[in-house]
Amino acid sequence: MLKDGEPYIILGSPGGDDQVMRTMQTLINVLDFGMNVQQAIEAPRWSSRAFPASPFPHTMYPGDLSVESRVPEAVRQALIAKGHKLTVAGAWSLCSNAAIMVDGKHGVLLAGADPRVEAYAWAR
C-alpha cells in the first residue's frame, strides 16, 4: 500500500478465503487504531464463513463467526445478540499474518511476525 505516493506497508497471509480477513484486520489495526505492525498482528482475530467459499461447491454458512478466546466476553455476547452463530477458537489460533512498514521519516523498516506460527520478523 502507498501513502502519499510512497511505499507505506506490505501485508501478507497464507491460506484461502481467510487471508483477506486477516490482512484487512491487520491493516485496520494499523490505520484506524494506531497500532504498530507487531501489535496489529498480535491483536485478537475473527473469521467468518458467511460468504460463498472460493472452492467448489462454494458452500457458505450464514451468520457463522469465529473469534479467538482473547476477544472479551462482552464483545462475544454482543455478537450473539446481533444474530451471529459464534464459535470461540483458541487464544492464538486463527492463522497467521506478517507485515513490513516503511518509516520514511526515520529511514527504517518496521516488521511484524505472527506468534500464532513459527515466524520471525527481520528488518533493517
Q: What is the pLDDT of residue 64?
A: 96
Average pLDDT of the chain to the nearest whole number: 93
Q: pLDDT tier at 120 (50, 70, 90 boundaries)?
A: confident
Distances (CA, A) of 67 to 40, 62, 75: 16, 16, 10
Enclosing H/E stretch for 18:
helix 18-31
Q: Is 22 helix (H, G, I), strand (E, B) or coil?
A: helix
Phi-psi region of 95 (alpha: psi -120 to 50; beta: other; left: phi over 0): left
- pLDDT at residue 75 greater than cutoff 80: yes
pLDDT at 97: 92
Give pLDDT, residue 124: 63
DSSP string, 41-104: HHS--EEE--S--SSTT----TTEEEEETTS-HHHHHHHHHTT-EEEEEPTT-S---EEEEEET
Does residue 52 have a cis peptide bond before it, meaning omega lies within 30 degrees of 0? no
